[in-house]
Amino acid sequence: MNDKILAIVNPAAGGGNAGKVAGAQIARLKEKGLQVDAIASMAPGHAAQLAHEAYEQGYRRFLAVGGDGTAHEVINGIFSREGRTDRIKLGFLPTGTGNSFLRDFTDLGAQASVEALRTGHTRCVDLIRLRHATGVIYSFNLLSMGFTADVATLTNRVFKPFGHFGYLLGVFVRVAQLKRRPFKLRCDDDANWDERRCLFLTFNNTKYTGGTMLIAPDADPSDGFIEYVRWGPIGRIGLLRMLPRLYDGTHTKHPLAETRRVKHVEFSLEAPVDVMVDGEVVTVDAKALDILPGAMDVYI
172 and 112 part of one domain: no
Q: Which of 42, 60, 47, 52 is nearest to 6 (CA)?
A: 60
Residue 153 belongs to a domain:
yes
Of residues 208 and 22, the one with the higher pLDDT is 208
184 and 283 part of one domain: yes
Residue 128 belongs to a domain:
no
244 and 276 part of one domain: yes
146 and 283 part of one domain: yes
Q: pLDDT digits over 227-286, tens only?
A: 999 999 999 999 999 999 999 999 999 999 999 999 999 999 999 999 999 988 999 999
Cross-strand pairs, 257: 231
Of residues 99 and 24, the one with the higher pLDDT is 24
Residue 133 belongs to a domain:
no
Q: Which of 174, 180, 176 is nearest to 156 (CA)?
A: 174
Q: Which of 102, 257, 96, 97 is nearest to 166 (CA)?
A: 97
100 and 147 part of one domain: no
54 and 197 part of one domain: no
**Phi, psi of 214, deg, nearest 5:** -90, 70
CATH number of residue 107's parent domain: 3.40.50.10330
Give me the half-sphere count of Cα atoms (radius 13 Å) on the Cβ side of residue 145: 24
pLDDT of residue 180: 96
Which residue range forms the structural domain that includes residue 16? Answer: 2-120
pTM of the model: 0.93
Q: pLDDT digits over 105-126, tens only?
A: 988 878 888 899 999 999 999 9
245 and 154 part of one domain: yes
172 and 80 part of one domain: no
Q: pLDDT digits over 163-200, tens only?
A: 778 888 998 999 999 999 999 999 999 999 999 999 99
CA distance to 55, 92, 129, per residue, from 6 (Å): 10, 11, 24
Residue 12 has pLDDT above 90, yes or no: no
Number of domains present in the structure of the chain: 2
Residue 126 belongs to a domain:
no
Q: What angle do CA 42, 67, 100 make, to 5 degrees?
A: 160
Q: pLDDT digits over 24-78, tens only?
A: 889 989 999 999 999 999 999 999 999 999 999 999 999 999 988 899 999 999 9
Is 66 within 8 Å of 40 (Cβ atoms)?
A: no
Q: Which residues are within 8 A (CB) of 8 and not within 5 positions of it... i.e. 6 or more apart?
A: 38, 39, 40, 41, 47, 50, 51, 54, 62, 63, 64, 65, 70, 73, 74
Give just the sign of the alpha carbon dihedral 150, 93, 121, 80: positive
